[in-house]
Structure 1
């Protein structure tokens, strides 16, 4: 009869495979940004939050800036999905208003991530061919497309003005200057 033992071969390494460590780290970074803002996020705090060795984040991110760019990229991708979903959930006539609500809701529910995406200087400083720059540019496209659909003669400047209105409302609401409900804000916008 063969005996089963728990002993490992003498040359076996004791390693722990975390699975999708990059996703775990990004999720932990998103949670840290949501809870405390991006300014307090460090590679060491990320490792602690993810429950991994302090060197583990460096396997996926070269430094804090690289990590923050990845978090912002993920944020822009989620933001774009929210806008596209809102645009497709009804008729074309009210699509721009639905997108405006989705924009404001995203900003209100993700204040610190929104600040990282739009107010941190990461995007303007990103390389033109970077994932961050592409994700940021892609996030503007649904609004531009919807403005052009509602008014074929509208220029990109018209979409920028609408974007500026929405951005201003998100920031003013986040900073406590506006207390009105989101629906009321969208109702008075000149979309």
Structure 2
């Protein structure tokens, strides 16, 4: 029998997600199409549709993965030291993640994907879970703190990430954290 003449990816979904992350990192999510993704992954134009119903489904999967990685970064920062400085370490990790992953961060927080996601979707669950480490740490550091206090800190961090990403500030991550009370 003759050898098979087709190429098969072992995990096409992972290859497509990796290609989408690379495209988003290089050019932002707005220019990503299923056809450009297929080209980047080296597969037929129809191949992405075997794993994602459409572009929005693909972007939701990339954002979900981004939120899961973001949550892990925050949890690791919180656990790498004493409780007194845990919130500051998380703030530094938050800003560093946003700075290192600007376009992914924009997709996660500024694309409208999360507000439009179904309440039981993986994306909505991952986005909600990404806020929990900050909320837990804020209430652990000051039991009288409220949800509003955690939202204010989140807003400060988010604002700093976006201001830096858009070129309004040039400060280093740790210098930014030192300017706000954590």
TM-score range, shorter chain: over 0.9
Aligned pairs for 1:82-121 (under 5 A) are 82-121=73-112
Structure 2: gaps of 5 or more residues: none
Q: Which of the numbers 125, 140, 148 marks the counterpart of 1:134?
A: 125
Pairing 1:157–2:148 present: yes
Structure 1 position 181, deviation (Å): 1.1
C-alpha deviation, 1:188, in angstroms:
1.3
- What do the CA deviations read for 1:26-80 (whole angstroms, capped 9, x no partner)? 0000000000000000000000000000000000000000000000001001100
Q: Which residue matches 1:65? A: 56
1:107-155 deviation line (CA, Å, top 9, x unaligned): 0000000000000000000000000000000000000000010011111
Structure 1 residues without counterparts, runs of 5 or longer: 1-6
Q: TM-score, normalised by structure 2?
A: 0.97
- Any idea what SS the aligned residue of 1:39 has? helix
Which of 10, 18, 21 is residue 12 of structure 2 equivalent to? 21
RMSD: 1.1
Aligned residue pairs total: 182
CA deviations over 1:132-180 (Å, ceiling 9, x no partner): 0000000000000000100111111100000000000000000010111
**Structure of greater Rg:** 1
